[in-house]
């Protein structure tokens, strides 16, 4: 029960912070006017979910139900462990994101603090426990992994919402242009995910221990994550090399839109499943 609450809190927090950074990033890359209300809602949600994660962490340590918060243990975590500084930085970044939404073009100003808030997730998983120089490299790789994943998730959210609102007879050229412009960003995202993911795996397990993953629950979940990542790559490739040219050429646009809508829905669902696995993996001993 307590482990499930911790995984659930991590999962919800990851989705919130990924969207908080990913949406402004995609809006900026596409030259779009962002929705400051959505950004403010996600920043507020990040604060609430961070508190929930703290209470879930305390409940997991003591074995008490999260419905009866252990405030004493939560206070110890805040004042006597690295969790305190991490939540302080994240809280300040989230408040700065909220303030940015009050400014003209706040969707642009919100991106740096939102990226900082998302990056703090690297200190609450395995990367946060790695020490010395190796720990610094691990956290840099993990931050890059988080930012790349956030960029992909934010792009999927905007694209899915845009395609979902298309109606028969709608002009599909803006969608095709958006997909085409996303291709370079998508390539950078995938390259970053692959390189940083490989570094993370080596840092967490070690090269010599990689074969032993096959006999662990961590390894099975990691394998499932990699399979889902491969599925996302396949869908993204289909969007780029098949559906986008069909929309640009105006060939059976309604059929292409239907296929694109289904592809983006499956890709988004796969991304959510990957985040659920990552939330679970972060609570496990890799060699247990």
Mean pLDDT (10-residue bins), the chain, 288 residues: 83 96 93 88 97 90 80 89 93 96 85 96 76 76 95 93 75 75 86 90 71 75 90 84 70 71 90 94 76
CA gap 258, 196 in Å, rounded: 34
Token pair of 206, please?
């070690």
On whether both 268 and 148 belong to a single domain, the answer is yes
Contacts of 124 (CB under 8 A, 6+ apart): 10, 53, 83, 86, 282
Dihedral angle over CA of 7, 13, 16, 21, nearest 10: -120
CA gap 221, 7 in Å, rounded: 14
pLDDT of residue 244: 73
Instruction: Tell me the residue length of the chain.
Output: 288
Q: What is the pTM of this model?
A: 0.90
pLDDT of residue 251: 55
On whether both 156 and 287 belong to a single domain, the answer is yes
On whether both 216 and 201 belong to a single domain, the answer is yes
On whether both 229 and 106 belong to a single domain, the answer is no
Task: Give the end of a domain, one of 124, 151, 183.
Answer: 124
CA gap 58, 62 in Å, rounded: 6
Domain interval for residue 174: 128-288
pLDDT of residue 252: 57
Distances 219 to 42, 109, 253 between C-alpha atoms, Å:
32, 40, 42
CA gap 277, 217 in Å, rounded: 11
On whether both 175 and 146 belong to a single domain, the answer is yes
CB 70 within 8 A of CB 59: yes
* Structural domains counted in the chain: 2
On whether both 77 and 160 belong to a single domain, the answer is no
Token pair of 233, please?
């790559």
CB 97 within 8 A of CB 113: yes
pLDDT of residue 210: 64
CB 83 within 8 A of CB 120: no
On whether both 162 and 178 belong to a single domain, the answer is yes
pLDDT of residue 10: 94
pLDDT of residue 89: 96
Count of helix runs (H) and strand runs (E) in the chain = 12, 0
Task: Give the end of a domain, one of 109, 124, 139.
Answer: 124
Distances 46 to 114, 148, 214 between C-alpha atoms, Å:
10, 19, 35
On whether both 29 and 156 belong to a single domain, the answer is no
On whether both 41 and 19 belong to a single domain, the answer is yes
pLDDT of residue 253: 64
On whether both 82 and 162 belong to a single domain, the answer is no
> DSSP assignment, residue 243?
I
Task: Give the end of a domain, one of 70, 100, 124.
Answer: 124
């Amino acid at each position: 029960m307590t482990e499930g609450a911790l995984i659930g809190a991590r999962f919800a927090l990851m989705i919130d912070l990924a969207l908080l950074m990913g949406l402004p990033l995609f809006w900026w890359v596409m030259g779009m006017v962002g929705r400051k209300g959505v950004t403010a809602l996600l920043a507020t949600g990040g604060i609430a979910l961070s508190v929930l994660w703290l209470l879930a962490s305390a409940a997991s340590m003591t074995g008490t139900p999260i419905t009866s918060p252990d405030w004493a243990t939560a206070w110890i975590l805040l004042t006597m462990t690295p969790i305190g500084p991490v939540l302080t930085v994240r809280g300040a970044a989230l408040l700065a994101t909220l303030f940015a939404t009050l400014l003209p073009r706040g969707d642009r100003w919100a991106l740096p603090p939102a990226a900082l808030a998302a990056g703090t997730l690297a200190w609450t998983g395995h990367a946060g426990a790695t020490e010395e120089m190796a720990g610094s490299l691990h956290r840099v790789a993990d931050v890059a992994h988080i930012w790349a994943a956030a960029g992909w998730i934010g792009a999927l959210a905007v694209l899915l919402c845009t395609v979902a609102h298309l109606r028969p007879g709608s002009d599909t050229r803006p969608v095709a242009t958006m997909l085409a412009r996303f291709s370079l960003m998508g390539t950078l995202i995938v390259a970053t995910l692959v390189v940083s993911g490989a570094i993370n795996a080596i840092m967490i397990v070690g090269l010599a221990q990689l074969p032993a993953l096959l006999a662990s629950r961590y390894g099975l979940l990691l394998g499932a994550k990699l399979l889902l990542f491969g599925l996302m790559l396949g869908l993204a490739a289909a969007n780029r090399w098949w559906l986008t040219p069909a929309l640009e050429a105006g060939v059976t646009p309604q059929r292409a839109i239907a296929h694109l809508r289904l592809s983006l829905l499956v890709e988004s669902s796969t991304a959510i499943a990957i985040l659920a696995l990552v939330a679970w993996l972060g609570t496990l001993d890799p060699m247990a």
